[in-house]
Amino acid sequence: MSTAMPDAGSTGEFSIRESAWILGVSEADVCRLIRTGVLPKVRRRSRLVVPAHALARLLPAPGEGRAR
């Protein structure tokens, strides 16, 4: 399975659902991260999106992998 982030489009932002998939957590967890200030949010019309750079900050560096 590839660990590369999917194409964020031209804006470099992901929906709550896409953010949850990328981070491997539930949508409720992403909302909690936004509420507590760990993840920034941007309102685009009526949607909340998360900047791609904020998600990249939470992901492990390539080659690090996850601790077991």
CB 56 within 8 A of CB 12: no
Residue 60: the pLDDT is 79
Query: What one-character DSSP code corresponds to residue 16?
Result: H
User: What is the CB-side half-sphere exposure of residue 2 using CA atoms within 13 A?
Assistant: 4
Residue 62: the pLDDT is 76
Residue 63: the pLDDT is 74
Tell me, yes or no, if the pTM score tops 0.85. Answer: no
Using CA atoms, how far apart are residues 68 and 65, in angstroms rounded to an integer?
9
Task: Show the low-confidence residues of the chain (pLDDT under 70).
Answer: 1-11, 64-68
Residue 4: the pLDDT is 58
Using CA atoms, how far apart are residues 28 and 26, in angstroms rounded to an integer?
5
For the chain, domain boundaries = 13-58
The per-residue pLDDT for range 7-26, each reduced to its tens digit, is: 555 569 999 999 999 999 99
